[in-house]
């Protein structure tokens, strides 16, 4: 059935991913409704945000199912949770924040307050995922190869640095 630690882990991951997904979709809806000149002239931005929102839904479903198998079943996960999280970060989170940065750099005025929420949430998620990655790599992982743990952790760290840089740039452009 699972112990308190397992349920807490699942709850934290589900909440983090759901908030991230909600921010992505709300950002798309606001981008779709805006009459900002840059966005209307570059219609492909809306469709890229939509595409990565869809990728986010599929990655959310897979990540939660995989983590559920890892945490609650005896047969284990399809893939290790840190590997799935790293791939998800590179495939969905990095492109989303890069698109948000592109919009923030070129917009004439604030499109919607969701831009601040999205950037702030990215910072919060970085902190939680960074701590989680360290714990997983050093304590929780059942991999036989510690070198692979560290390799995955380095790729995740690089993605987090990219997200951190883009998030800070988004906030700087929104606040000017």
pLDDT digits (tens, 9 = 90+) for 105-129: 888 776 677 778 888 888 888 888 8
Q: Where are the alpha helices (DSSP H) in the chain?
A: 4-33, 37-41, 44-72, 81-88, 94-106, 114-135, 146-175
CA neighbours within 13 Å on the CB side: how many for 22?
A: 9
Q: Are 103 and 110 in contact (CB under 8 A)?
A: no
- For residue 62, what pLDDT is reported? 93
Structure tokens at 174: 């929104």
Question: CB 132: neighbour CB atoms within 10 A?
Answer: 19
pLDDT mean across residues, the chain: 85
Structure tokens at 150: 């560290």
- For residue 71, what pLDDT is reported? 78
Place of tokens 């809306």: 46
- For residue 140, what pLDDT is reported? 62
Q: What is the largest CA-CA distance in the chain?
A: 54
CA distance to 47, 92, 111, 121, 159, per residue, from 54 (Å): 10, 9, 22, 19, 20
- For residue 60, what pLDDT is reported? 94
Secondary structure letter of residue 113 according to DSSP: T
Q: How confident is the model at residue 15 (pLDDT cuts 50, 70, 90)?
A: very high
Query: What share of the chain has pLDDT > 90, as a percent?
Result: 36
Q: How far is CA 80 from the centre of its chain?
A: 17
Average pLDDT over residues 30-42: 89
Q: Are 116 and 170 in contact (CB under 8 A)?
A: no
Q: How confident is the model at residue 22 (pLDDT cuts 50, 70, 90)?
A: very high
């Amino acid at each position: 059935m699972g112990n308190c630690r397992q349920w807490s882990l699942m709850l934290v991951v589900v909440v983090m991913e759901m908030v991230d997904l909600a921010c992505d979709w709300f950002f798309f809806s606001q981008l779709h409704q805006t009459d900002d000149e840059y966005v209307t002239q570059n219609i492909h931005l809306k469709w890229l945000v939509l595409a990565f929102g869809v990728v986010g839904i599929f990655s959310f479903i897979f990540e939660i199912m995989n983590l559920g198998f890892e945490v609650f079943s005896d047969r284990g996960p399809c893939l290790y949770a840190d590997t799935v999280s790293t791939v998800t970060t590179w495939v969905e989170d990095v492109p989303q924040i890069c698109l948000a940065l592109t919009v923030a750099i070129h917009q004439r005025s604030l499109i919607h307050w969701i831009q601040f929420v999205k950037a702030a949430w990215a910072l919060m998620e970085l902190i939680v995922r960074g701590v989680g990655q360290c714990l997983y790599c050093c304590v929780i992982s059942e991999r036989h190869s510690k070198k692979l743990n560290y390799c995955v952790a380095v790729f995740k760290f690089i993605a987090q640095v990219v997200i951190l840089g883009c998030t800070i740039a988004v906030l700087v452009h929104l606040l000017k």
